[in-house]
Amino acid sequence: MTQTLSSVSYAHVSELDHQYLLQVYRRFPVLIVRGQGVWLYDEQGNAYLDFLSGIAVCSVGHCHPKFVQRLSEQAGRLIHVSNLLLTEPPAQLAKRLCEVSGMERVFFTNSGAEACEATIKIARKYANHVRKVPDYEILVLEGSFHGRTMGAVSATAQPKYQEPFAPLLPGFRVIPANDIDALQTAFNERTVAIMLEPIQGEGGVRPLSDDYLRRVRELCDEYQALMIVDEVQAGVGRTGKWFSYQHADILPDVVASAKGLGGGFPIGACLMRGVASTVLQPGDHGTTYGGNPLAASAGLAVMEIIEEENLCENAERVGNYLASRLHELQAQGAPITEVRGRGLMLGVQLSLPIARTVVQKALEHRLILNATSDYVLRLVPPLVLTEAEVDIAVDILNQVLQEVQP
């Protein structure tokens, strides 16, 4: 493939970044100028295998030709008119999302946090106007992550995200994750909703068991509480099904989606069914951009490509292959104690606190990885990944793990 060299330099862009951008991210020391499939290219034409995909976002790979074409066509036709005017793409995307999820209505947002905010507003109005429980509780799970807006932060049961921004929104009660006894004890007449990720992503790729999810569903039915599932990271094919709750054969009442849905174009969605879809009425909630024609076209293109290229099946098959290759490394004595997750959402638990060093070293070997803590590597590559690309990545990881061991 021909590599176009860029006229920009790493040093120049890095200087601008450090001078003008708020430094809330510790960025990798590379300048990315182009992407194709599962590969990213820096300004010198070096290729990097991308096992991060924009933090579980670029589901159909970088610059998929059909995706680019659909976005370009829509950009040339109509980009934005606001939700006060009717346009076709959001209506079509909402229909497709309902068909694959079992939900009945959709509210579009611009991000995962906003999708979660919408779910929280539904739960709060449901508590106040439907259940009429003034001292209501929304259960959330230890280790969760629902985003950076204040409602989502308040639902995020991890002190490092909450402590600097106190006081938090009231009404949440934290319970241990994946503990059925604790779950049963926590439910009571004040419980109006429970919000959870079937696989906690930022919390270290920690899946809830199918039994746990089924028990949540039963308790929600028993107590008339809403089951809110945050599929922002695990959804849209990544785990081998459209949504990861489908592995447990249950239907939530409310679902948050984003990331992979837009394939890199910002869009989120709050999906709902039953009583949950009757709670918010005209004037209760809104957003200027949510589901504009361009963003919705991105979502439609992503869903079409996933279907045409069988990317759910690919995520499952290649994900299983990746997990088996990682287990091989473990068996050969690499400092790996567990490989967990589903499809192409995998976490590698290390026995040593070297995850961040592994990420740095892997970058030097042109593999882009991510660590959720000192002990956990997160692998969330594009869903178009092949077994041959898994082999390249696992060879690099193997070499890096040998280099960084004390």
Catalytic residue IDs: 145, 230, 259
Residue 238 and residue 17: Cα distance in Å, rounded?
32
- Least CB distance to ligand PLP at residue 265 (A): 12
Question: In the complex, what is the shortest distance from the CB of residue 283 to ligand PLP, in angstroms, rounded to a whole number?
Answer: 24
Radius of gyration of the chain from its Cα atoms, rounded to whole angstroms = 21
Interface region with ligand PLP, contact rule CB under 6 A, candidates 141-149, 160-168, 184-192, 212-220: 141-149
Question: How many helices (H) and strands (E) in the chain?
Answer: 13, 17
Nearer to ligand PLP, 147 or 237 (CB): 147
Rank residues 74 and 372 by Cβ distance to ligand PLP and give the closer one.
Answer: 372
Q: Is the peptide bond before 89 cis (omega within 30 degrees of 0)?
A: no
Number of residues that bind ligand PLP (CB under 6 A): 14
Distance CA 186, CA 14 (A): 49
Q: Please, which of residues 166-225 interact with ligand PLP by CB under 6 A?
A: 197, 201-202
Residue among 111 and 314 whose Cβ is closer to ligand PLP: 111
Segment interacting with ligand PLP (CB under 6 A) among 132-140, 143-151, 179-187, 301-309: 143-151
Nearest to 111 by CA among 150, 141, 149: 149
Q: Which range, of 130-138, 142-150, 366-374, 386-394, touches ligand PLP by CB under 6 A?
A: 142-150
CB-wise, 113 or 301, nearer to ligand PLP? Answer: 113
Would you count residue 116 as binding ligand PLP (CB under 6 A)?
Answer: yes
Helical spans, DSSP H, in 332-386 = 355-364
| Interstrand relation of 367-368 and 47-50 (parallel, antiparallel or unpaired) | parallel
- For the beta sheet containing 137-141, the strands, ordered from the edge strand earlier in sequence to the opposite edge, are 105-109, 268-272, 254-257, 226-230, 191-196, 137-141, 172-175
With CA atoms as reference, report the closest residue to 213 among 199, 223, 224.
199
User: From the CB of 96, what's the least distance to ligand PLP, in Å?
Assistant: 20
Q: How far is the CB of 130 from ligand PLP (least distance, A)?
A: 25
Report how far residue 103's alpha carbon sits from residue 58's, in angstroms, rounded to the nearest whole number.
24
Q: Does 138 bind ligand PLP (CB under 6 A)?
A: no
Least distance to ligand PLP, CB of residue 330, Å: 26
Host H or E run for residue 169:
none
Of 350, 348, 349, 341, whose CA–CA distance to 319 is shortest? 341
Of 153 and 401, the one with the shorter C-beta distance to ligand PLP is 153
Rounded to a whole number of angstroms, the minimum distance from the CB of residue 383 to ligand PLP is 16
Burial 303-326 (b: 16+ CB within 10 A, else e): bebbeebebbebbbebbebbbebb
Among the candidate windows 139-147, 165-173, 288-296, 396-404, which touches ligand PLP by CB under 6 A? Answer: 139-147
Please report, as residue ranges, which positions from 253 to 272 form the binding site for ligand PLP (by CB under 6 A). 258
- Determine, following the binding rule CB under 6 A, whether residue 372 of this chain makes contact with ligand PLP: no
* 311 touches 166 (CB < 8 A): no
Measured from the CB atom, the residue of 112 and 237 that comes closer to ligand PLP is: 112
Please give the residues from 96 up to 115 whose contact with ligand PLP meets the rule CB under 6 A: 111-113
Q: Name the one residue in this structure whose structure tokens are 């002990």.
A: 375
- Which of residues 116 and 354 has its CB atom nearest to ligand PLP in the complex? 116
For residues 322 and 344, is the Cβ–Cβ distance under 8 A? Answer: yes
Pick out residues in 215-244 that bind ligand PLP (CB under 6 A).
230, 232-233
Summarize as ranges the residues that interact with ligand PLP (CB under 6 A).
111-113, 116, 145-147, 197, 201-202, 230, 232-233, 258
